[in-house]
């Protein structure tokens, strides 16, 4: 496909060939979509599902990542095919990527000029403009990367914030469980509500693995004691696993560690930075 130059880099880098064709790299599309299937398996399946034809809809190339290293197979995919591949993910990020590709097409949908037919002066003018555009895109990419790093640092700082106060601890846990459920890496549940419940259940299971604590029995006993001590039924029913954990000075720090481990495992801080 000849030399490629980046023309858009807001979500997925979009390149233009020397023939004016808009294309993307398969591995870059794959990374943004957050696919968990191995790249080779995913790309082969998606290209087949799109009824794409090699050397028409995409091109396979070998890229050496390091000098003397084993070449890595890469795919240069035309934008129409990339749109279909994003749509086939059937999730929110897939929809965002497809819409982004459509917007790129609209911006560049104009008659391509064969610059080889222009005068030397005009060819030089376009070459200078291209270099300026590349510089601006690179500056924009660097600024976005710096902003993402700063937001990620803020997210990590919040994750490991102080939770000495019992009510602060409960609020901290609820926010963290909510963010885990919203993470693109957490897929246990069809709806956000289901993912939230499953994430919370997983946190209690992880806690029990670290320190067997019979939470169900302790909650039942606490509710019974609350009623015997004159608490209303509503107040007694509000007692739950987190109530028991928050009141237990030995159990609470272990559970806090569990939640932090889940935040790291599901890359929640990274997702926050990307979503901003």
Range of the domain at 59: 5-112
User: Measured between alpha carbons, how far is 130 from 5 in angstroms, rounded to an integer?
Assistant: 9
Residue 145 maps to a domain = no
Whose CA is closest to 84, among 116, 118, 48?
Answer: 48
Q: What is the pLDDT of residue 276?
A: 37
Please tell me whether residues 89 and 178 are part of one structural domain.
no
Residue 117 maps to a domain = no
Angle at 231 between CA 170 and CA 214, to 5 degrees: 50
Please tell me whether residues 57 and 161 are part of one structural domain.
no
The residue to which tokens 């808009």 are assigned: 22
How many C-beta atoms surround the C-beta of residue 53 within 10 A? 10
The residue to which tokens 């399946």 are assigned: 45
Please tell me whether residues 159 and 74 are part of one structural domain.
no
Residue 204 maps to a domain = yes
- pLDDT tens string 29-43: 999 999 989 999 999
Q: What is the pLDDT of residue 132?
A: 79
Please tell me whether residues 102 and 159 are part of one structural domain.
no
C-alpha neighbours within 13 Å on the C-beta side of residue 231: 15
Give the distance, in angstroms, between the CA of residue 246 and the centroid of all CA atoms in the same chain. Answer: 31
- Burial class of residue 271, CB neighbours in 10 A (0-12, 13-18, 19+): buried
Structurally, the chain folds into a number of domains equal to 2
Please tell me whether residues 168 and 265 are part of one structural domain.
yes
Residue 234 maps to a domain = no
Confidence at 106, pLDDT banded by 50, 70, 90: confident
Q: What is the pLDDT of residue 69?
A: 59
Please tell me whether residues 162 and 269 are part of one structural domain.
yes
Distances (CA, A) of 40 to 56, 60, 74: 19, 12, 9
Cβ neighbours for 130, distance < 8 A, ≥ 6 positions apart: 5
Domain boundary residue among 86, 112, 138?
112
SS3 119: coil
- pLDDT tens string 193-229: 899 999 999 999 999 999 998 999 999 999 999 898 8
- pLDDT tens string 138-183: 777 777 666 665 555 555 445 444 455 667 788 889 988 998 988 8
Domain boundary residue among 79, 112, 145?
112
Residue 122 maps to a domain = no
Domain boundary residue among 49, 80, 112?
112
User: Measured between alpha carbons, how far is 122 from 63 in angstroms, rounded to an integer?
Assistant: 34
Residue 38 maps to a domain = yes
Please tell me whether residues 180 and 265 are part of one structural domain.
yes
- Token digits of residue 215: 């939470």
SS3 124: helix
Residue 160 maps to a domain = yes
- b/e map of 178-187 (b: 16 or more CB within 10 Å)? bbbbbbbebe
Cβ neighbours for 107, distance < 8 A, ≥ 6 positions apart: 8
- pLDDT tens string 57-97: 999 988 765 555 567 789 999 999 999 999 999 999 999 99
Residue 77 maps to a domain = yes
Please tell me whether residues 104 and 167 are part of one structural domain.
no
Please tell me whether residues 99 and 162 are part of one structural domain.
no
Under DSSP, the state recorded for 23 is: E
Please tell me whether residues 101 and 184 are part of one structural domain.
no
Please tell me whether residues 17 and 104 are part of one structural domain.
yes
Do 2 and 85 meet the contact criterion of CB atoms below 8 Å apart?
no
DSSP collapsed to 3 states, 130-175: HHHHHHHHHHHHHHHHHHHHHHHHHHHHHHCCCCCCHHHHHHHHHH
Please tell me whether residues 190 and 77 are part of one structural domain.
no
């Amino acid at each position: 496909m000849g030399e490629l130059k980046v023309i858009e880099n807001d979500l997925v880098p979009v390149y233009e060939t020397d023939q004016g064709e808009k294309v993307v790299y398969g591995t870059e599309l794959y990374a943004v979509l957050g696919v968990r299937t191995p790249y080779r398996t995913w790309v082969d399946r998606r290209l087949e599902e799109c009824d794409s034809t090699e050397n028409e809809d995409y091109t396979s190339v070998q890229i050496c990542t390091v000098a003397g290293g084993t070449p890595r197979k890469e795919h240069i995919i035309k934008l129409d095919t990339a749109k279909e591949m994003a749509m086939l993910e059937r999730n929110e990020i897939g929809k965002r990527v497809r819409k982004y590709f459509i917007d790129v097409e609209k911006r560049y949908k104009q008659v391509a000029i064969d610059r080889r037919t222009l005068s030397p002066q005009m060819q030089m003018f376009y070459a200078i403009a291209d270099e300026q555009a590349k510089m601006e895109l690179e500056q924009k990419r660097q600024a976005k990367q710096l902003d993402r790093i700063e937001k990620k640092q803020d997210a990590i700082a919040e994750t490991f914030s102080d939770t000495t106060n019992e009510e602060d601890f409960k609020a901290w846990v609820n926010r963290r469980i909510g963010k885990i459920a919203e993470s693109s890496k957490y897929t246990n549940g069809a709806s956000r509500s289901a993912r939230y419940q499953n994430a919370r259940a997983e946190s209690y299971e992880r806690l029990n693995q670290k320190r067997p604590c019979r939470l169900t029995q302790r909650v039942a006993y606490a509710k019974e004691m609350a009623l015997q001590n004159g608490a209303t039924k509503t107040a007694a029913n509000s007692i739950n696993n987190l109530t028991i954990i928050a009141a237990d000075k030995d159990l609470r720090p272990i559970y806090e560690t569990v939640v932090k481990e889940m935040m790291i495992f599901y890359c929640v801080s990274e997702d926050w930075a990307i979503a901003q």
